[in-house]
Amino acid sequence: MSQYRAPLDDIRFTLFEVLNVEPIFAQIGKSDASRELVDAVLEEAARFTGEVLAPLNAVGDRGCTFDPLTAEVRTPEGFAAAFAQFVEAGWPALNAPAAFGGQDMPQLLGAALKEMINAANLAWGNFPLLSHGATEALLHHGNAWQQEVFLKPLVSGQWTGTMCLTEPQAGSDLGLLRTRAEPLSDGRYAISGTKIFITAGEHDMAENIIHLVLARLPDAPAGSRGISLFIVPKFKVDAYGQLGERNHVACGALEHKMGIHGSATCVMNFDAAEGYLVGEPHKGLMAMFTMMNSARLGVGLQGLGLADRALQNALRYARERLQMRALSGAVQPDKAADPIIVHPDVRRMLLTQKALVEGSRMLAYHAFLMLDIAQHAADDAERQRADALAGFLTPIVKACLTEWGNECTYLALQCFGGHGYIAEHGMEQLARDARITTLYEGTTGIQALDLVGRKLLQLQGAGLQALLQEANAFCQKEADNPALAEFLPQLQHVLDNWQQISQQIAQMAAKNPEEIGSTAHDYLFICGYSLLAFWWARALAAVEKSSQSDAFKQGKRETARFYYARILPRIHGHVAALGSGADILMRLPAEHFG
């Protein structure tokens, strides 16, 4: 069975030495999030995820069960009890405003908690994941009554939330959805339709489930401009939030999936279910994007968490597994063979995982820090800059961290050899669980289109320019730092190239709109690998001033060298592919594919 221990040393290093969050928290009015308090939260999160959630990961792989007669879903043994502990400890309220019962801690601290949860037990972590998104949607778009009645129990964890978008005929194209919302005489609505792939749509872990549902009003215009958002509770509530009879919404089936078996992925049927309009009519997509962007960053952390757990187990196994001798001679001559960590190819796989995991942590945590600054900074210009940065980083974090999560879990499985394919070690579960992360909350292709079509072209690259300014300023500041002498020239070249490629895409798209889709995938990874080059340089600057152990410092230096030498050159392939243009993709007629 795979094991997990929260990497607190690296989490603290990222927070306090690379990002230097303590003074930033104080500047944005989060002075309660002191180093002492954050350390205490991290320690308790590590204890809960390591002792309570991690042992349930293999149990969860046995799956949820569905009773078609009662339409009830039972979660795996131990899941509900773990959720009760989670609620009792106040974890669901960590980031929510104090006005609604929250602890008002920074989003970044919540990100560290989510990383640990995802690594310990991804399937279990899906149940509270969308509650956070529902909370964000109601905070920004709900009226006072909705916030009082629905938001407070979501914040406490007494109720959980879902996001009901997808329908059988409408995947990512929400303009095709058919779910209807008929106005009732008292201001409520009757919601009818079927939604699929609904995470935590039905379960036994909370007393009520609050579905946020996209539907069409009778007078709705066609397409995505005719979508409204509705609250549809599992159990009806009165004006004071007291639970009533069961609403006309029920699970019709559980999806049979490749992985995350402990997460209830439901077909949900709405049969004139009572609901409440959130925000303005026909403006539901804007409100839903508040949930989606929160979920997208959360799914990026899923890729990171799984990759970190996979690395921990691959490293442990590589140190223990004896097989063959080192090419340069026996390392442990008193034993029958050497541990496989002496072999160059095993080291290649381990260092690839280490470079991507630790680089991804810095990248993701920076995105969440930008969310905190965008929401709470006193200066309007600073908030706008942070908001542009967070917006530009969101599709990169979601797509790259999940794609790298897939790569890392498969590399970790490969380190185990044939034993990785066997269920008892738990590695094949991590690989199966990781696969979904590139698909839900928008596939990698959808993230790439958002990055190029909206963030780069429509918004004129405001977030990119802020990133490049920050990275170029870093290069100038550290120009005389001997610890960075071997890295800064290459980093500066990467940054200049990134700027030029971005301009090239804009020129290509102006001539042919197909270039937006043609360049998007490669541009996404050019951004991801460029950002990791920047963050590994930042890590090296921080580690030289760090009080961490010599072994920790050497680990950072050598991993950075590996990243620059072995992973960063992947950019060249993406640049070459991007430059080939859309015609190479579009020239072959569809009927000639085979």
The one-letter amino acid at 16: F
Look at residue 411 and give its three-state secondary structure: helix
302 in any annotated domain: no
Q: Which listed residue (17, 202, 428, 441) is catalytic?
A: 441
442 in any annotated domain: no
Q: Based on the domain organization, do 122 and 228 belong to the same domain? A: no
Neighbour tally for 541: CB within 10 Å = 19
pTM of the model: 0.97
34 in any annotated domain: yes
Q: Based on the domain organization, do 171 and 52 belong to the same domain? A: no
Looking at residue 456, the DSSP 8-state letter turns out to be: I
The CA distances from residue 456 to 215, 385, 501, in Å, are 30, 15, 11
Pick the closest to residue 489 from 575, 564, 571, 574 (CA basis).
564
Q: Based on the domain organization, do 580 and 501 belong to the same domain? A: yes
Interatomic CA distance for residues 156 and 516, integer angstroms: 43
Q: Based on the domain organization, do 20 and 98 belong to the same domain? A: yes
Q: Based on the domain organization, do 110 and 12 belong to the same domain? A: yes
Q: Tell me whether residue 470 is one of the annotated catalytic residues.
A: no
Domain boundary among 110, 141, 172: 141
What's the pLDDT at 132? 86
583 in any annotated domain: yes
Interatomic CA distance for residues 425 and 444, integer angstroms: 29
Interatomic CA distance for residues 563 and 55, integer angstroms: 33
Q: What angle do CA 127, 132, 133 make, to 5 degrees?
A: 105
Domain boundary among 282, 313, 335: 282
Q: Based on the domain organization, do 474 and 579 belong to the same domain? A: yes
Is residue 95 within 8 Å of 103, Cβ to Cβ? yes
What's the pLDDT at 160? 97
Interatomic CA distance for residues 160 and 150, integer angstroms: 10
Pick the closest to residue 409 from 378, 436, 379 (CA basis).
436
Q: Based on the domain organization, do 116 and 168 belong to the same domain? A: no
Q: What angle do CA 491, 348, 309 make, to 5 degrees?
A: 95
Query: CATH number, domain at 260?
Result: 2.40.110.20
Number of domains in the chain: 3
Neighbour tally for 336: CB within 10 Å = 8
Neighbour tally for 36: CB within 10 Å = 9
The CA distances from residue 381 to 106, 385, 388, 444, in Å, are 20, 6, 11, 31
The CA distances from residue 70 to 66, 124, 211, 243, in Å, are 9, 23, 19, 19
Helix axis angle for 514-543 and 550-562, nearest 10°, is 150
Interatomic CA distance for residues 580 and 594, integer angstroms: 23
What's the pLDDT at 244? 96
What's the pLDDT at 373? 97
Q: Based on the domain organization, do 105 and 179 belong to the same domain? A: no
The string over 263-272, giving b where at least 16 C-beta atoms fall within 10 Å of a residue's C-beta and e elsewhere, is: bbbbbbbbee
Q: Which two tokens stand for residue 549?
A: 């152990």
What's the pLDDT at 286? 82
480 in any annotated domain: yes
Interatomic CA distance for residues 137 and 135, integer angstroms: 5
* H or E stretch at 273: strand 265-278
Query: CATH number, domain at 121?
Result: 1.10.540.10
pLDDT in tens, the chain (594 residues): 789 999 999 999 999 999 999 999 999 999 999 999 999 999 999 999 999 999 999 999 999 999 999 999 999 999 999 999 999 999 999 999 999 999 999 999 999 999 999 999 999 999 998 898 889 899 999 999 999 999 999 999 999 999 999 999 887 777 789 999 999 989 999 999 999 999 999 999 999 999 999 999 999 998 888 999 999 999 999 999 999 999 999 999 999 999 999 999 999 999 999 999 999 999 998 887 777 788 899 999 999 999 999 999 999 999 999 999 999 999 999 999 999 999 999 999 999 999 999 999 999 999 999 999 999 999 999 999 999 999 999 999 999 999 999 999 999 999 999 999 999 999 999 999 999 999 999 999 999 999 999 999 999 999 999 999 999 999 999 999 999 999 999 999 999 999 999 999 999 999 999 999 999 999 999 999 999 999 999 999 999 999 999 999 999 999 999 999 999 999 999 999 999 999 999 999 999 999
453 Cβ partners below 8 Å, 6+ apart?
516, 520
What is the distance in angstroms between the CA of the first residue and the CA of the last residue of the chain?
44
Domain that holds residue 551: 452-594
Residue 163 β-bridge partners: 212
Interatomic CA distance for residues 516 and 257, integer angstroms: 32
Q: Based on the domain organization, do 102 and 186 belong to the same domain? A: no
376 in any annotated domain: no
172 in any annotated domain: yes
Token pair 């405003």 is at which residue?
Answer: 97
Is residue 194 within 8 Å of 252, Cβ to Cβ? yes
Domain boundary among 141, 175, 208: 141
Q: Which two tokens stand for residue 39?
A: 């350390």
Q: Which two tokens stand for residue 234?
A: 């599992």
Q: Based on the domain organization, do 587 and 499 belong to the same domain? A: yes
What's the pLDDT at 176? 85
42 in any annotated domain: yes
What's the pLDDT at 295? 86
Burial class from Cβ neighbours inside 10 Å (0-12, 13-18, 19+) for residue 357 reads buried
Q: Based on the domain organization, do 173 and 131 belong to the same domain? A: no
Interatomic CA distance for residues 67 and 406, integer angstroms: 33
Looking at residue 78, the DSSP 8-state letter turns out to be: T
Pick the closest to residue 1 from 377, 423, 374 (CA basis).
423
Q: Based on the domain organization, do 85 and 190 belong to the same domain? A: no
